[in-house]
């Protein structure tokens, strides 16, 4: 008798999954705005591979670009002209990017960003914001989603296996609180290598002036500012959050969209900082070793280049924003009628619902929100055919009228469910 996929997965994958995100289904195919599971059920996809598929699944131009290069080879671990062209386009688009190094994952990019900041400043301590996501590195796994809240700036490990020294050198601040950040920089004067942040933390927007304050404080205290734009890069605008908010970091990490659905990420920054990757300039003592078997491979690079080319076409971002705003309005339409406290938190290109009665400014506002209501709401959305995480919705450029109708009916039913239960 054939074992189910779930049974086989439990045998081969720890926890039965590829990672900590368990969608509860096996996806076998994706096209446009839709995906299909192993049983043939169709879903409207608002996960989009966790963000990289802004053009939708299997975009014909991306597929054609990738196919055109397969006969030339898939990876070389050597310089290739396609990766160079992609790097040049990133430098053209991203304000802080004077040079680029490619990697295969956002976690790697964020790990190197922290190491680069330490190499450049000669300091050890990093400040991050509670609830900020920066991949799977040790510093990143500090106070990402703590279930037990600690007094700031104490870091709370979110994973086993992280040494105590990492906790001591990682200081944690509340997002959107420039006054606390200033006090922390004052207290640890001369010891902070960098402030490491998502300029738009998960779905939580920066308050007006907050990013400017962070930039000014980093300048004052001789600390680098690192923007993790793996999510916001090429999503909020072609130039990412830097373009939208007008605040320029010293180092920026990118991923997701730049690979067009293939594994690719990048670390970018000002040349004098990126020089630490060049031994001929900085010498042995300040050189930061970096290499990766698949970094900058031509297949991921050509998929990314084609994706960026399409995003530059007239009206692309207007369309993406209009899609997001339309879904946000659907949420408001039904949740307003429910009488329940809620917030649509985020940006038209990236948002979700938080069931709270006050403006969501930081991780703790989400932590103290009604999580059981959120679980019920998302459970019904899934039953109605919407595929997303419990914390985020990614609109894409390929949504159709039928998709919006399905979304509206799913939100109506989900709102009805939480109104009757809660």
Residue 1 confidence (pLDDT) above 60? no
Give me the helix-helix angle, 60-70 and 298-311, nearest 10°: 150
Of the candidates 123, 125, 128, 256, the residue annotated as catalytic is 256
Contact 267, 113 (CB under 8 A): yes
Lowest mean pLDDT among 7-11, 98-102, 105-109, 124-128: 7-11
User: To which H or E segment does residue 336 belong?
Assistant: helix 316-338
Q: Cα dist. 11→4, 27, 39, 221, 243 in Å?
A: 11, 19, 20, 52, 47
Catalytic residue status for 133:
yes
Q: Are the beta carbons of 20 and 26 closer than 8 angstroms?
A: no
Considering only CA atoms, which of 149, 181, 212 is closest in space to residue 365?
149
Bridge-based pairing state of the strands 27-31 and 34-37? antiparallel
pLDDT at 20: 77
Q: Does residue 250 have an active-site annotation?
A: no
- CA angle, residues 185, 134, 265, in degrees to nearest 5: 125
**Cross-strand bridge partners of residue 42:** 36
Ranges assigned E (strand) in 38-108: 42-45, 99-103
Measuring CA to CA, which residue among 357, 411, 369 is closest to residue 388?
A: 411
pTM of the predicted structure, to 2 decimals: 0.96
Catalytic residue among 228, 275, 365, 403: 228
- Using one digit for the tens of pLDDT, what is the confidence trace for 28-56? 999 999 999 999 999 999 999 999 999 99
pLDDT grade for 271, boundaries at 50, 70 and 90: very high
**What's the CA gap between 219 and 217, in Å, rounded?**
5
How confident is the model over 289-316, as pLDDT tens digits?
999 999 999 999 999 999 999 999 999 9
pLDDT digits (tens, 9 = 90+) for 170-182: 999 999 999 999 9
The sign of the dihedral angle between the CA atoms of 390, 396, 398, 402 is positive
User: CA 251 to CA 238: how far, in whole Å?
Assistant: 17
Q: Please pick, among 46, 133, 317, 394, the residue that the annotation labels catalytic.
A: 133
> In the prediction, which pLDDT does 422 show?
55
Q: Three-class SS of residue 50?
A: helix
DSSP reduced 3-state for 172? strand
Query: What span, in angstroms and rounded, lies between the C-alpha atoms of 344 and 332?
Result: 8
pLDDT digits (tens, 9 = 90+) for 201-234: 999 999 999 999 999 999 999 999 999 999 999 9
**Residue 256 is among the residues annotated as catalytic for this protein:** yes
Domains detected in the chain: 5-58+315-421 (3.90.1150.10), 73-311 (3.40.640.10)
Residue 312 CA to residue 304 CA, distance in Å, equals: 12
């Amino acid at each position: 008798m054939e074992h189910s996929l779930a049974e086989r997965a439990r045998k081969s994958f720890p926890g039965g999954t590829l990672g900590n995100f368990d969608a509860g289904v096996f996806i076998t195919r994706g096209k446009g705005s839709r995906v299909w599971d192993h049983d043939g059920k169709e879903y409207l996809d608002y996960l989009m591979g966790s963000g990289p598929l802004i053009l939708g699944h299997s975009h014909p131009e991306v597929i054609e670009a990738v196919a055109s290069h397969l006969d030339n080879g898939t990876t070389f671990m050597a310089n290739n002209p396609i990766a160079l062209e992609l790097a040049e386009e990133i430098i053209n688009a991203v304000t802080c990017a004077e040079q680029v190094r490619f990697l295969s994952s956002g976690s790697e990019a964020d790990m190197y960003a922290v190491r680069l900041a330490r190499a450049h400043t000669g300091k050890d301590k990093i400040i991050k914001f509670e609830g900020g996501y920066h991949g799977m590195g040790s510093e990143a796994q500090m106070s990402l989603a703590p279930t037990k809240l600690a007094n700031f700036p104490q870091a709370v490990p979110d994973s086993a296996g992280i040494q105590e020294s990492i906790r001591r050198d990682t200081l944690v601040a509340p997002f959107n609180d420039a006054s606390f950040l200033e006090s922390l920089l004052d207290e640890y004067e001369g010891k902070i290598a960098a402030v490491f942040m998502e300029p738009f933390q998960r779905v939580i927007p920066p308050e007006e002036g907050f990013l400017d304050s962070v930039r000014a404080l980093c300048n004052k205290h001789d600390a680098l500012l690192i923007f993790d734009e793996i999510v916001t890069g090429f999503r909020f605008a072609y130039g990412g959050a830097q373009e939208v908010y007008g605040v320029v970091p010293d180092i920026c990490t990118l991923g997701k969209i730049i690979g067009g659905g293939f594994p690719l990420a990048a670390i970018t920054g000002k040349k004098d900082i990126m020089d630490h990757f060049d031994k001929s300039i900085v010498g042995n003592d300040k050189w930061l070793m970096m290499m990766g078997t698949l970094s900058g491979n031509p297949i991921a690079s050509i998929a990314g280049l084609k994706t960026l080319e399409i995003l530059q076409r007239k009206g692309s971002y207007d369309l993406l924003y209009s899609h997001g705003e339309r879904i946000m309005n659907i949420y408001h339409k039904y949740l307003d009628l429910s009488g329940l406290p809620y917030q649509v938190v985020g940006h038209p290109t990236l948002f979700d619902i938080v069931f709270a009665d006050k403006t969501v400014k930081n991780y703790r506002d989400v932590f103290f929100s009604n999580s059981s209501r959120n679980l019920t709401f998302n459970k019904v959305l899934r039953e109605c055919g919407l595929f997303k995480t419990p914390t985020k919705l990614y609109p894409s450029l390929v949504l159709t009228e039928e998709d919006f109708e399905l979304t509206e009916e799913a939100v109506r039913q989900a709102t009805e469910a939480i109104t009757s239960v809660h």
